[in-house]
Amino acid sequence: MDEEKVNILVVDDLEDKLLVYEMVLASLGQNLVMARSGREALRHLLDREFAVILLDVKMPDMDGLETAAMIRSRRQTAQTPIIFVTAFNDEVHTAQGYSLGAVDYIMTPIVPEILRTKVGVFVDLYKKTQQVRRQAQEHVALARAQAARAAAEEATRRSAFLADATTSLSRSLDHQTIARTLAARAVPFLGDLCAVILADEGLPSCWRTELAWIDPEHDPSHRSASLSGISDLGPLAGPIRRVTAGADWEVVRIAPHRTAEPDQPDRPAEPGAEAEIAAGHEALVVPGTGIIPHTILVVPLNTHDPAPGALALAIGRDRRPYEPEEIGLARDLAGRAAIALDNARLYRNVQENNRRKNEFLAMLAHELRNPLAPIRNAVEILRMLDIPDPNLHWANDIINRQVEQLVRLVDDLLDISRITGGKIQLRMEPIDAALAVTRAVETSRPLIDARRHTLSVSLPPHPVMVTADLVRLSQVLSNLLNNAAKYTEEGGSIELEVARDGPDALFVVRDNGIGISRDSVPSIFDLFIQVDRTIDRSQGGLGVGLTLVRQLVEMHGGSVTVHSEGHNRGSEFIVRLPALNAAAPAQPPSKPDSSRDEPSTPRRVLIIEDYPAVAESLRRMLHLGGHEVKVSRDGDEALRSLVVEETDVVLLDIGLPGMDGYDVARSIRRRPGGDSLVLVALTGHGQEEDRRRSREAGFDHHLTKPVEPSALFSLLTRLPPRDAGNPALAPILSSA
């Protein structure tokens, strides 16, 4: 590759001298630029850079000395070498020329070899200078590239750290676990020690601290601890108190070689500025860690929780002080931790609200069932009296149906709560779909008949077997039948069809009712959604039945869809469940329980109930059924009056004042002969936890208010004779 030519500027007002210079310097092989005046030379200097300037001293208009002065006054050309050429050996002009920056004087007539040699020296010097300059630029460019690469690698490392820390923080929804994770992640990336300080829930003045630090003498080298308060954090305590009191982030440098004056205590730093605190050596160590911090960085955990928090980091003297990038990284980490803590707080609030909701629904069900119990008992008493008055029979039927509707609404509300809380466990077993259909029809028949609908049921010639919870599948079909009955004008038509479709079993419920608009179809299974609020209100619906259908079907591994042509065009619901390949004989449909109409052995019954209407209505109903009945209003009275030998059955309310039903049951069982009595829990609490507690307390049966009279009479009818003792009775109708 040819070497790049450099520029040589020759300035003289005589043409023949310029020609001589050109001939003498041509052998240097460089680029010669000729100027015939000082002004022309200055113009050339504005356009390009020259290795050396040959300047004639004596020129008209602007002589060489003036031209040199102008060249030296310009920053870009101030260092360009100037060789004066003159015919006068004048010491005054020579001194003036050197003062203007001349590097040499050549007397005319010139000696070609001398001129070439001197100019060649400056040409070589210029080339080497340019080479050094290029190398310096290359070094600068390389250094910048390396710095940029290092910055990019550091940015990538920090981004990876933040991403990993964010993932770790998001794995938990517990405040203390998040704090512990944050402390562990920050060491050693951001410091030799990390403390995460959070206020105790409900006690903003009390603090919990999670510590993590480096301990090279132990394996693993990371250690951690949990502390109460912040006073035991040594030199970290002051900055932490200020930040948790509302100050911005703070950097504190500790000066161990001087002692703080009594009137100059630890002072707060301006937000974002550094402070220095003095301390004796004994005050430097963070207790329990062996860490002697050199610099402390404290940033707030700005959560929406009213209780504040802080992230404190400390480094020793073997690490460089915190730089702005590291402070920014710590603040970014604290912000992400604050989001995780906010999420934990929101989750805790949701869980607490959900717990309160479930408690409220359970209490609501209990409070609603208590007044429903005497109403149902009174209806049964009127039926048993069999007074021949059609108006009385009509009124009795109306009351009975409305009680059934209210009971169903209460059950639906509790089912929604239990399903959304994941508290329902399905009892899956192979069953014939026809059995679920039979039970669903029995449940929905009163409402269908009351609205004078025609119900047609279509079953396949061969059994369709599915793995399902019989009770819940019957509930699904019953809810769909009830929905069809409610949303179909009186005298309508309802169809229930069961079919096999490849690997699936289909349950189809059709009606010719009011139909569903296209806008309502996507949300028809959502909670508290009603197709037509006016009609729904008239039928007493809450908009939870179809939500239960979808959730129960999905728990069975199936799906439910709906189709309607629009207003007044009817609707069709299709439940699809996985079918079993093996066929099994169809189970015969169950017959209605008529045990309450069958004569039964009179029983000696003790009712323990504090609700007067429930106790009296239950006493009268059982008395009409031929049983001997006594009533006690609370547990203490019952235990005082109870004679084991004169009692067969104890109907015991759980929610008694003073001694509750569980304690009463335990006391009865501990009495001589108490294990021979049949204990029946009558309560408005019917969740699985309530049933478990009643079993543990010694109850034989658990009946939920309002008790179905047929279930109670059936239980009394099936009891073994008293002289047979009380063997381990199967819990007859224990889930009623």
% of the chain at pLDDT higher than 70: 81
Please say if the pLDDT value at position 562 is more than 50: yes
Bridge partners for 225 per DSSP:
211
Q: Do domains 7-134 and 425-578 have the same CATH topology?
A: no
| Neighbouring-strand partners of residue 213 | 193, 223
pLDDT attached to residue 266: 46
Topology of the domain covering 170-322: Beta-Lactamase (3.30.450)
Nearby residues of 586 by Cβ (< 8 Å), 6 or more positions away: 432, 434, 435, 463
For tokens 């019954």, name the residue. Answer: 605
pLDDT band at 304 (very low <50, low <70, confident <90, very high): low
Residue 456 binned pLDDT confidence (cut-offs 50, 70, 90): very high
CA–CA distance, 46 with 41 (Å, rounded to integer) = 9
Residue 111 has pLDDT above 70, yes or no: yes
Give the pLDDT band (50/70/90) at residue 402: confident
pLDDT band at 460 (very low <50, low <70, confident <90, very high): very high
Model pLDDT, residue 529: 52
Q: Residue 404's pLDDT is what?
A: 75
For 301-371, strand residue ranges (E) read: 309-315
CATH, domain range 596-724? 3.40.50.2300
Q: Are 223 and 215 in contact (CB under 8 A)?
A: yes
Which tens digit of pLDDT belongs to each residue from 198-236? 876 655 556 778 888 887 666 555 667 777 666 566 677
Q: In the prediction, which pLDDT does 548 show?
A: 81
User: Hey, what are 733's tokens?
Assistant: 């109708």
CB 515 within 8 A of CB 500: no
- Largest distance between two CA atoms of the chain: 157
Per the model's pLDDT, the better-predicted residue between 270 and 138 turns out to be: 138
Q: Say yes or no to pLDDT of 123 above 60.
A: yes
- The pTM score is 0.56
Q: Among residues of the chain, what percentage have pLDDT more than 90?
A: 27
- State the pLDDT at residue 305: 56
Q: Is the pLDDT of residue 138 over 70?
A: yes
Q: Is the omega angle on the peptide bond into residue 271 within 30 degrees of 0, that is, cis?
A: no
Task: Give the model's pLDDT for residue 405.
Answer: 67
pLDDT in tens, 245-301: 777 788 888 765 544 444 444 444 454 545 555 444 444 566 667 777 788 888 888
Among 276-285, 337-346, 698-707, 723-732, the range scoring the smallest mean pLDDT is 723-732
Q: Which residues contact 344 (CB under 8 A, 6 or more apart)?
A: 172, 173, 174, 175, 178
Question: Could you give the CA distance from residue 452 to residue 665 in angstroms, rounded to a whole number?
Answer: 47
Residue 731 has pLDDT above 60, yes or no: no
Ranking 155-164, 364-373, 455-464 by mean pLDDT, the lowest is: 364-373
pLDDT given at position 256: 57
Query: How confident is residue 164, by pLDDT bands cut at 50, 70 and 90?
Result: very high
The reported pLDDT for the residue numbered 417 is: 64
Q: β-pairing, 52-56 with 604-608?
A: unpaired
Lowest mean pLDDT among 20-34, 387-401, 440-454, 691-705: 387-401
Q: How many CA atoms lie within 13 A of 21 on its CB side?
A: 27
Instruction: Transcribe 513-555 into DSSP letters.
Output: SS---TTTGGGTTSTT--S-HHHHHHHT--S-HHHHHHHHHHH
Which of 9-18, 416-425, 437-446, 531-540 is least confident? Answer: 531-540
Ordered by start, the domain boundaries in the chain are 7-134, 170-322, 425-578, 596-724
Tell me phi and psi for residue 676, to 5 degrees. Answer: -90, -15
Domain 7-134: which CATH class?
A: alpha beta
Mean pLDDT of the chain: 81
Superfamily for domain range 425-578? Histidine kinase-like ATPase, C-terminal domain (3.30.565.10)
C-alpha span between 362 and 684 (Å, rounded): 8
pLDDT tens by residue, 90-103? 777 777 778 877 88
357 close to 417: Cβ distance less than 8 angstroms? yes
Q: In angstroms, how far is the first alpha carbon of the chain from the final one? A: 103
Environment class of 438 (CB within 10 Å of its CB; exposed 0-12, middle 13-18, buried 19+): buried
Q: What is the pLDDT of residues 489-533, one digit of tens each?
A: 999 999 999 999 989 999 999 999 988 887 777 777 775 555 554
What is the token pair recorded at 111? 């000696």
H/E stretch holding 506? strand 504-511
Residues in the chain: 736
CB 195 within 8 A of CB 334: no
Read off the DSSP letter of residue 110. Answer: P
Q: Say if residue 145's pLDDT is above 50.
A: yes
Q: What local confidence, expressed as pLDDT, does residue 535 receive?
A: 41
> Mean pLDDT over residues 307-336, rounded?
85
Structure tokens at 477: 């079909």
- Residue 35: pLDDT above 90? yes
